[in-house]
Amino acid sequence: MQGSGGRNLKIFQAMCGLPALSNVTLATARWVEIAKDLGTHRERELEETQDYWGWMKQTGSRIERHFANRDSALRLIDMYLDFPKRVSLEIREELVLGGKQLEQTRAGKEVEKDLLRQRNAALGRLATTEHMMFEKHDHATMLELERNKMEVDQQIRLLEAKQRELSAGLEKYESEREHEAGFRCCCSKGSRGD
């Protein structure tokens, strides 16, 4: 799967880890909006195509239909009320038990790789636009290329802002984790009568 859907599934898998995927339910929706035959065809394509949901189904993920009503939503929730198998998410294992920073986790690396890929693609578009601007002398074309250049510049700034937000979020998370660790340490000393 290409595009944001494929990237999101990669990040989702990195966060969960393969063992946890057997606890995942993928729900198809919009059944009230399209013909049943078309919906069934699309659902089958998602299930059978490895690059879509096929690989998740093979690891034990379930695929269900959600019909945009309360009963359908409750049916999906009820599946998990008495769910016998509990698993730990990979990202929890890496952060809590492994003591890793978020950017060191498999999910963090996937996000960083995706941001870098998007930034490089935007820089490539910027270089192409700048090259075309240099070659063209038509005023209308120059204005259009300048507009494209400004859009790509804006995309690059947004991607850089996302990277800064991710780093800031990591620093805040780490600070909170250190504070909680210190709090637990102080509480455990106090409970022993120290």
What is the structure's pLDDT at 71? 94
CA 93 to chain centre: 18
Closest by CA to 27, choosing from 68, 58, 83, 82, is 68
Predicted TM-score (pTM) of the model is: 0.64
Q: What is the pLDDT of residues 34-88, one digit of tens each?
A: 999 999 999 999 999 988 899 999 998 999 999 999 999 999 988 878 766 778 8
Give the mean model confidence (pLDDT) for residues 4-31. 87
To the nearest 5 percent, what fractions of the chain are helix, strand and coil? 75, 5, 20
Residues 98-127, mean pLDDT to the nearest whole number: 86
Q: Is 84 in a helix, a strand, or coil? A: coil
Residue 40 has a pLDDT of 94
Instruction: Kindly state the helix (H) or strand (E) to which residue 62 belongs, with its residue range.
Output: strand 62-65
pLDDT above 50: residue 18:
yes
Task: Name the β-bridge partners of 4.
Answer: none
Question: Looking at residue 179, what is its pLDDT?
Answer: 65
> pLDDT tens digits, residue range 117-167?
888 888 888 788 777 777 766 677 778 777 877 888 888 888 788 777 776
Stretch among 9-23, 78-92, 110-124 having the lowest mean pLDDT:
78-92
pLDDT of amino acid 194: 44
Whole-number pLDDT of residue 3: 66
| Cα–Cα dist 163/157, whole Å | 10
